[in-house]
Amino acid sequence: MAARSLTWSRAASIAMRDLRSAPGKFLFVVLSVAVGVAALVGVRGFSEIFRGTLTTEARSLMAGDLSARTNQQASAEELKKIAALNAQGIRTTWVTETVSMVSVPPDPVPILVSLKAVDPAQYPYYGEAVLEPEMPLQAALTDTSVVVADEFMVRMKAKVGDTVRLGGHNFRIAARLVQEPDRMTAGAGLGPRVLISRSALNATGLLAAGSRANERLLVALPVTLQSTPQLAEVRKQLEAALPEAQVMDYREGNPALTQGLDRSTAILSLICLVAMVLGAIGVAMSMHAHLEQRMDVLAILKAVGAGSGDLLRIFLLQTLGLGLAGALLGVLAGAGVMLAMPSVLGNLLPVHARLAIPWRSASAGLATGLLTTLLFCLPPLLDVRKVRPILVLRRVVEDAEQRGFVAFLTRWGQRKLQIVAGVVILAALTAIAAALSDSAQVGTWFGACLAAILFVLLLLSAGFLRLLRWLLNRVRLRLPQYLRQGLANLYRPGNQSAAVLAALGVGVMLILAVYLMQSQVLREIQETASPKLPNMFLVDITNDEIDGIRQFFKNQQGVKQQLDLLPVVSGRFVSLNGTPLDQLKVEHFPKRMLESVSFSWADTLPEGDKVRQGKWWSDPKAKEIAIGEGIASRIHVGVGSAVEIEVNGVTMPLKVAALYRADEEHIAGRASFMLPSGLVKDAPAVWYGAVRVETSQVPAIERALFAAYPTVTVINLADVLDRIESVVHQITMVVKFLAGFSIFAGLMILASSVASTRFRRMREAVVLKTLGATRWRIVRIFSVEFSVLGLLAGTVGVIFANVLTRILLRKLEAPWHIEWGATVIALLGTAALATATGWVASHRILGLRPLEVLREE
């Protein structure tokens, strides 16, 4: 007659009774799960909200999701296609940028201004036009009023309330323009900014047929179309609707912020994945130690008639209960950390994130905690099937007695289910990584790399232990007894040194990789928005004024970075790749922009530029040209392409030597075409300047410069760059904080993996005490074991961390160099962590009596 299986309710009752028998041991398992889940929920939850905040800020610097710039007014057919976009719930508005003459009565002398016409009911879609006195833009821009920049007031000695004459009409100055949201992506203009409503501009008649004006279409997408694939799809539609327009999305509006957004997203995703893996390591080590300690209970249950299925049912329920408790505790802790971050960071968050309960992250954390607990318990749970009561006290010795290649194959042949469970675990971690990173490709690469790293680490760990044993056999008698015993402990029967080494090695690798990644990437981000970059630009400087303007800024207070100058000569392209300009087909790049081109010259790579392909020339008379990467892709030229240009009436055949990317915050970023100096330095040139001054000193310097050089136009970007710098500073602080939080959680989890070996050392301490060993001898033996374990794991971890960091940084196109300080600290710190944690978990062993331990066992 077949034995009856335990019911689920009966199995749950036995599992609960076993939990109550030793709550301290099970609390350790719950906390290990909770720490991993808390790190995942806290980091992922806040990073999601933070990325949303950064995305909104990036959009505000363009005032929309997409922008299409063209030099001509849209045709009826193009307007019809744009109307089709509006039918999808997409909002659009036109922004017109032109130049005009404006005077302030009674002074009849006008000045050239950069005129910008907007629909104040629509513009801006993101960000805010800050006015002084404070008022809505819709109230300031009417059919009879305009808004002007501070530069206009300085030049015309005007004030709010004065009347200006524009296009034969009078307008009242309603406010001063303090901050223009899309100043970085708007045209630089040839004079001070004057903002006007589109209806008022139409009334002036300035936009007659044939008028030169830039038209910019701002596009705002509904929430349902703001994912990256949907953004790309709408962009294609916009490019099809306006084939002559230059289309860009909010990620291209400012390189510094875009780079910060992309790289911080990559770092935060990496931190989330690391938190998940470290949590999984903690769960695996804790549950393995837990089931090791319950083997006696399993044997007793089998002795009284329980079958393998009954034991699996009991400990499966127990495992799920522990995982659920740890996951719930971790979700609460992670949500609390996420919600408390703004208070902890205080004023370090100038762009305040809108916090909400991270339901998505909480669900992902809860599922991840449960899934990793269950998956990592599968291999030890499957061992329950072969537990025999008679072998409970002899299992360690018997396992250790089987050696040799045949025994190795036999053991692996008996562990087919464990191998299958390992494959399942890897597949599940790959799926979790794909879900956390929102990319199946990232998840696949992550799973493959994790499997490869674990395999290599296990091989290295086993190799280290074999090498240690070989060396110890040859120098055993020359070593002190405590040192010999401590080293021998690393490969004693039943020891989990290889598993602990692999777990510690993976943990150290991931933690150090997070630190190195955030350190290198944040350093690169900070360089793209350095407080040394220029925030005041000068336009239309003549050759005669260069020396005087240089001296002017040397004598001004508040100048933080001296004047940088860029020469520009006018010319045109004659042909590209042998195709005359009139036969040329370009992609989303107005052909007329090749008929009137501003060339500059530089014999060394200008500051802020990076060569993407090719090589910069060294000969100032080389027949070569360097072209900005973005324009090169639109006009279909690359390194080695043949082009022909005309400058000052002279036609020159050239070869494309390099493609470069400019950060657009240095003055050289204003030039898309660079030539060797020997080709054009004698041609008539206009100079542009860039200087960094304290924001508070900008108005005073503008007034003094206008008084000395009234023909030089000043473009003030101080407020815009201050915003960018504050956001980059925010990126830096938040990434550092989240990386630090993840590293701290990882250290706790790694500590738990060392502490989980306490059960084995209890038995050894009993044997040593029985044989007469003193406490001090046991302390020295275990200290050697802990420190060597930590040093070996640290060595493997730091090597792989630097290799992994180099690979990831190459993918992000960021430089890499080894950080010896962090590497040495990680190596020594791992040894110190292993030693300290081992003793924190094991110090009570020294005070236990042998009989007391044996009875507890």
pLDDT in tens, 235-294: 888 888 888 788 888 876 555 556 655 666 666 666 666 666 666 666 666 666 666 666
Q: List pLDDT tens digits, range 84-102.
A: 888 888 899 998 888 888 8
Q: Most confidently modeled of 83-92, 728-737, 753-762?
A: 83-92
User: Measured in Å, how far apart are the chain's first and last C-alpha atoms?
Assistant: 35
Beta carbons within 10 angstroms of residue 493's beta carbon: 12
Q: What local confidence, expressed as pLDDT, does residue 395 receive?
A: 47
241: left (phi over 0), alpha (psi -120 to 50) or beta: alpha
Q: How far apart, in whole angstroms, are the C-alpha atoms of residue 110 and residue 205?
A: 18
Beta carbons within 10 angstroms of residue 743's beta carbon: 21
Q: Mean per-residue pLDDT for 324-333?
A: 83
Q: Could you give the 3-state DSSP secondary structure of residue 112?
A: strand
Q: What local confidence, expressed as pLDDT, does residue 173 receive?
A: 92
Residue 353: pLDDT above 60?
Answer: no
Q: Three-state SS across 535-587?
A: CEEEEEECHHHHHHHHHHHHCCCCEEEEEEEEEEEEEEEEEECCEEHHHCCCC
Residue 792: pLDDT above 90?
Answer: no
Contact yes or no for 222/250 (Cβ under 8 A): no
What size, in residues, is the chain? Answer: 857
Q: Mean per-residue pLDDT for 766-780?
A: 72
Residue 852's pLDDT band, with cuts at 50, 70 and 90, is low
Average pLDDT along the chain: 76
The candidate with the shortest Cα–Cα distance to 754, out of 398, 411, 490, is 490
Residue 60: pLDDT above 70?
Answer: yes
Cis, peptide link before residue 106, omega less than 30° from 0: yes
Q: List pLDDT tens digits, range 27-45.
A: 766 777 777 777 777 777 7
Q: What local confidence, expressed as pLDDT, does residue 542 receive?
A: 83
User: Which phi and psi angles does 203 have, rounded to 5°?
Assistant: -65, -30
Which residues make Cβ contacts (< 8 Å) with residue 34, sequence separation at least 6?
Answer: 326, 327, 329, 330, 333, 369
Q: Could you give the 3-state DSSP secondary structure of residue 100?
A: strand
Q: Hey, what are 200's tokens? A: 């008022």
Contact yes or no for 670/607 (Cβ under 8 A): no
- DSSP letter, residue 294: T
Q: What local confidence, expressed as pLDDT, does residue 328 receive?
A: 86
Residue 625's pLDDT band, with cuts at 50, 70 and 90, is very high
Q: List pLDDT tens digits, range 506-551.
A: 777 777 877 787 777 677 666 666 666 787 888 778 888 888 888 8
Residue 769: pLDDT above 80?
Answer: no
Q: List pLDDT tens digits, range 124-135.
A: 888 888 898 889
Task: Give the max Cα distance, the chain.
Answer: 114
Q: What local confidence, expressed as pLDDT, does residue 785 receive?
A: 76
User: Which phi and psi angles does 90 have, rounded to 5°?
Assistant: -90, 130
Contact yes or no for 27/273 (Cβ under 8 A): no
Q: Could you give the 3-state DSSP secondary structure of residue 331?
A: helix
Residue 611: pLDDT above 80?
Answer: yes
Four-residue CA torsion sign, 240, 242, 247, 250: negative
Residue type, 7: T
Q: Mean per-residue pLDDT for 650-663?
A: 88
DSSP 199-257: HHHHHHT-S-TT---EEEEEEE--GGG-SHHHHHHHHHHHHHH-TTSEEEEGGGS-HHH
Contact yes or no for 371/319 (Cβ under 8 A): no
Q: What local confidence, expressed as pLDDT, does residue 487 receive?
A: 76
Q: At what angle do helices 775-811 and 758-770 cross, to 10 degrees?
A: 160
- DSSP letter, residue 701: H
Q: What local confidence, expressed as pLDDT, does residue 846 receive?
A: 62
Four-residue CA torsion sign, 573, 579, 583, 588: negative
Residue 81: pLDDT above 80?
Answer: yes
Q: What local confidence, expressed as pLDDT, does residue 653 receive?
A: 92
Instruction: Decide: pTM greater than 0.75.
Output: no
Q: How far apart, in whole angstroms, are the C-alpha atoms of residue 82 and residue 98?
A: 22
Q: Mean per-residue pLDDT for 696-719?
A: 79
Q: List pLDDT tens digits, range 379-425.
A: 666 666 666 665 554 544 444 444 444 544 455 555 666 677 677 77
Beta bridge partners of 179: 130
Q: Hey, what are 646's tokens? A: 């005309």
Contact yes or no for 220/226 (Cβ under 8 A): no
